[in-house]
Structure 1
Amino acid sequence: MDTPPEERFDRITRLAQSLFGVSSASISLIAENRQYLKSFVGPLARESDRGNAFCAETIKAPDTMIVENALTDERFRQSPLVTGRPHIQFYAGHPLTGPGGTHVGTFCIADQAPRRFSAEQQKILEDLTAIIQREMNLSWDIDTGARVQRALQPAIPSAPDGYSLGTCFYPASGVSGDFYEFGTTASGEFRITVGDAMGKGVGPGLVAGTVRAAFTHCDWEAEPARIFENVAGALDETLARVGSFATVFHAVVDPDTGAGRYADAGQALSHIVRADNTLERLSPTGPPLGLVPGQTWDTGTFTLHPGDAILVPTDGLLDLHGGELGPLGTAIGQLQDSDDADVAVRKLCDRRGKRVILDDITAVLLRRNASPA
C-alpha cells in the first residue's frame, strides 16, 4: 500500500487498456477501509473507499469476476461508481494473492458501456494477472530477504577511545551483496572487514552471507593475509561451485598507536585520509577470494596519526562518483570537513541528486581524533 508507481506494473495496465479496448485498467490493493491503486490508466482515482469498490467483491471469489452490465447487477447497480463518475457498466477482475495465500487485491479492467467478455478474453486477463502476481511475489521475496539481512547485520560497536566510526549500507535493490564485520581482537586491536560479492540481488546476497559467516568463525588474532588464506581455503570450492567471487578488505588498528595492518583481496578502493586532506590509496595485496584457488595474500601496513582516517568502501561508491578514481578522491578529500565520522560517510554515500546507481554501496570510516591543542 502507498508505494509509488512502477513502470513494470504501469506497462501491463497500459497494455490491458489497449488490448481490451476499455477505458481503464488497474492493479488494486485492498485494505480494511480503502482501495489503493498501485497502477492504473483511465478515469480512476488513486484511492477510494473500499465499500464502493468492485474489487472488494472480486477478492472474495477464487476466480475471475465478470460484470457484463452493472446496471442490471443487484450487487452494483446502486454503486456510486455506476450511478456517478466514472459510470462503470462493464468490469472484469481477477484476484491477486498475498504471501500468506489471502487475496489482497485485483487486476481489473472497466468500461462505460456493457459488453460481452469471451472465454478467450478471460484467459488473456488471467495470463496478465499471472505476470503481475509473479512480479509481486518477487517483490515480497526480496523485501523478506532484505528484512532478514538487516536483522542479521552485526551491531555497529562503539569506536575505540579516541576514535569515531561512521558507516553506510545501501543495497541497490533490497538484498545487498555487500557485508561488513567489526570487533575487537583479544589483544585489543579494532578490526574492520568489508566485502562485496560479485553481482547484485538475491544470489550475491546469499554469497555475501556465506563469506561473512566464514569470517565470523576465523581466528581474528592471525595476520590479515593469513586470515584470507584460511577463509579462502574454506570457501574456494563453494565459490567455484556457484561461479562467484568476493572482494574483501580486512584491517586491524592498534588504538593506542594508530598502527594498522591490512590485507586487500581485490577491493583496491580503501584510502588513508590524512588530517590535511591528502589521500593515500592502499594497494591490493592479492586477488578476490574465490578467483584463484590456492592463492596467497600479503599483509600491508599503515598508520593513523591524530586527525587521520581510514575509509573502506565497496565499488558502488566508485560508481556513485562517476566510476573514476579522480572524482571519488575529490569527494573523499572533503571528508575531513565534518567533525562527525558518521555524518561524513553518509554524505559521501548520499545518492540524492546523482545519477541512478545500480550497485550496492557500503563504506566504513574510522577516524582518529585530533590531538588536543
Structure 2
Amino acid sequence: METAEQARVEAVRELGLLDTPPEERFDRVVRLAQQFFDVATVAVNLIDDDRLFVKSAVGFESGGSLPRDNSFCPLTIDTQQTLVVSDARNDADWADHPFVTGDPKVRFYAATPLAGPNGQVVGALCMVDREPRELSSSDRALLDDLAGWVETELAADADAVQAKEIQRRLLPRKAPEVLGYDIAGRCQPAYHVGGDYYDWHLLDDTMLQVTVADVMGKGLPAAVIAAGLRTAMRVTSRAHTLMEAVRRTAEGLQDDFGDSGTFATMFTARLRPQQGHLEYVDAGHGLAVLVSPGSPTRQLASRDLPLGAQPGSLWTSNEARLEHGDTLIAVSDGLLDAFSDPVEAVRAAEQLVASASSADEMADRILAAAARAPLADDLTAVVVCRENA
C-alpha cells in the first residue's frame, strides 16, 4: 500500500519541474518577496524523497539540490504549516543546526508550504536572513498570498502534464507497413503544450490516410480538442469521402471550437499506394509539400478555411501523384520559427530529400533544424517517401 509520503513524492515528480532551469514565472515571485520583506534570500523549493531542489531563488543559486536532512524546509512539509524561526541561535530546535552555526549563518527563517494541484504538499516558499526578525500577521498574510501565486503556476504545470499525456496518446505507436513506401512521423512539444497531432491509418487494403493538424492554443483545452478531432476524423473517414469526412468533423466539433474561441488547421490526404494517387484536403494549413527530384517542389495548399473558423464552411478535394522517388512532407507551423521565409523552408525540404537515407532520418532532421531556434510552438512532421522502382 502506498504511504502518504510516497504519494507526496509522486506528486512532486508529476509536476515535471525537478532538475529544470529557473523560470521567470517563479523568479518574479521570489524577487518580489525579497523586496517586500528585505531579506537576504528567498527561494521556491521542491522537496523530493531525499533532497531539496531549488527551483527558483534570489540570494542563492537556483537549479541546485541539497540533502533533504540538511535543510529547514522539510519541517514545513511535515507540519504543513507556516514556520517562522525568528532567531535560530536562540531557538533550542535550531541552534545547533549546521546552517546556523556555520555558513550561511542563518538567524531568521520563514516558510509556507506549497500545495500541488492534487492538494499534496510539494515544497515551500522560504525566506532566510542573517539577522533576527519577526513576522507580523500582515506579513504572514502577504507570504501566504505569494505562496498562492506559486501554487497557481504549479497548477498550470499540472495542466501541461495532462496535455502532454493526451498528446502522447494521440500519436501512432508505429509507422504503417505499406509496400513500396517509407513512412515516419514525429511530434516535439514546446514547453507549453498545444494541439498538434499527426495520424495515419489504413482505410482498406488499397488506401492509406495521413493527417497533420494543429489546434490553435495551448495547454489542456487545445489537447482535448485535438483528441476529439482525431477521433472524429477516424470515425467519419470510414464511410465518407475525404471532403465529407472533413465537413462532418468540423460540424461535430463546431460547438467546441466556438466555446473555446479557437480553430484548427489540418492537412489530410488519402494515398492509393499502388498508383501513387494522392487526394488531399488542406484546411488552412498550407504546410505540405511534394518534393520530386528533378521537378519543381509543389506546395499542397488551398484557400479553404481552417476547421472552426466559420460555421457551414466547405472544403475542396485536390489531387497529386507520388511518383517513384517522390516525398510528401507535412509539418505544423512550429517549423516556421526555424526559417526566415517559406522559400528557405522549401529549399531546406529539397536538400533534405536529396541527402537523407530514410523517412526516419528526414523526420529527425526536421526536428533538429527547428531546435536551432527557440521553439515557441509544438512541431509535428510526417514524411511519406515512395521508394524508387
- Could you tell me the TM-score, scaled by structure 2's length? 0.89
State the distance in 2 between where 1:55 and 1:198 align: 41
Q: Which piece of structure 1 moves more, 149-158 or 76-85? A: 149-158
State the distance in 2 between where 1:240 and 1:33 align: 47
Q: Which amino acid aligns with 1:23?
A: A
The RMSD of aligned alpha carbons is 2.0
Aligned partner of 1:301 in structure 2 is 319
1:213 to 231, 251, 269: 231
**Residues 1:58 and 2:79 aligned together:** no
**Residues 1:176 and 2:199 aligned together:** no
1:31 to 11, 31, 48: 48
TM superposition shift of 1:141: 2.1
State the distance in 1 between where 2:66 and 2:295 align: 56
TM superposition shift of 1:285: 5.9
TM superposition shift of 1:275: 2.6
TM superposition shift of 1:167: 1.3
Q: Which piece of structure 1 moves more, 265-274 or 313-322? A: 313-322
1:21 to 38, 41, 58: 38
TM superposition shift of 1:352: 6.0
Q: Which amino acid aligns with 2:362?
A: A
Q: Deviations over 1:141-170 (max 9, x none)?
A: 211221233134332333411111121212
Q: Which piece of structure 1 moves more, 104-113 or 232-241? A: 232-241
State the distance in 2 between where 1:82 and 1:44 align: 19
Distance 1:159 1:82, change over 3 A: same
Residues 330-341 of structure 1 aligned to structure 2 (within 5 Å): 330-336=347-353, 337-341=355-359
Aligned partner of 2:345 in structure 1 is 328
Larger proportion of helix:
2
**Residues 1:366 and 2:384 aligned together:** yes
State the distance in 2 between where 1:95 and 1:233 align: 47
Q: Which amino acid aligns with 2:346?
A: G
**Residues 1:261 and 2:284 aligned together:** no
- Look up the SS of the partner of 1:307 in the other structure: coil
Aligned partner of 2:10 in structure 1 is none
Aligned partner of 1:273 in structure 2 is 291
2:127 to 80, 95, 109: 109
Q: Which ranges of structure 2 fall in alignment gaps of 5 or more residues? A: 1-17
State the distance in 2 between where 1:29 and 1:263 align: 48
Kindly, what percent of the aligned residue pairs are identical? 33
Q: Which amino acid aligns with 2:89?
A: L
Q: Conserved in 2, the CA contact under 8 Å of 1:167 and 1:363?
A: yes
Q: Conserved in 2, the CA contact under 8 Å of 1:263 and 1:285?
A: no
Residues 118-133 of structure 1 aligned to structure 2 (within 5 Å): 118-133=136-151
- Could you tell me the TM-score, scaled by structure 1's length? 0.93
Aligned partner of 2:3 in structure 1 is none
State the distance in 1 between where 2:159 and 2:219 align: 11
Distance 1:145 1:230, change over 3 A: closer
**Residues 1:196 and 2:188 aligned together:** no
Q: Conserved in 2, the CA contact under 8 Å of 1:13 and 1:25?
A: yes
Q: Conserved in 1, the CA contact under 8 Å of 2:268 and 2:280?
A: yes
Distance 1:113 1:349, change over 3 A: same
State the distance in 2 between where 1:353 and 1:235 align: 33
Distance 1:33 1:232, change over 3 A: closer
State the distance in 2 between where 1:43 and 1:173 align: 25
State the distance in 2 between where 1:319 and 1:275 align: 26
Q: Which amino acid aligns with 1:39?
A: S
Q: Which piece of structure 1 moves more, 226-235 or 15-24? A: 226-235
- Look up the SS of the partner of 1:144 in the other structure: helix
State the distance in 2 between where 1:200 and 1:58 align: 34
Q: Deviations over 1:115-174 (max 9, x none)?
A: 122112111111111111111121122112212331343323334111111212122234
Aligned residues: 370
Residues 87-166 of structure 1 aligned to structure 2 (within 5 Å): 87-166=105-184
State the distance in 2 between where 1:184 and 1:353 align: 32
Q: Which amino acid aligns with 1:32?
A: D
Q: Deviations over 1:54-94 (max 9, x none)?
A: 11111122321000010111211111000010010100000
1:2 to 1, 4, 19: 19
State the distance in 2 between where 1:118 and 1:290 align: 54
Q: Conserved in 2, the CA contact under 8 Å of 1:176 and 1:201?
A: yes
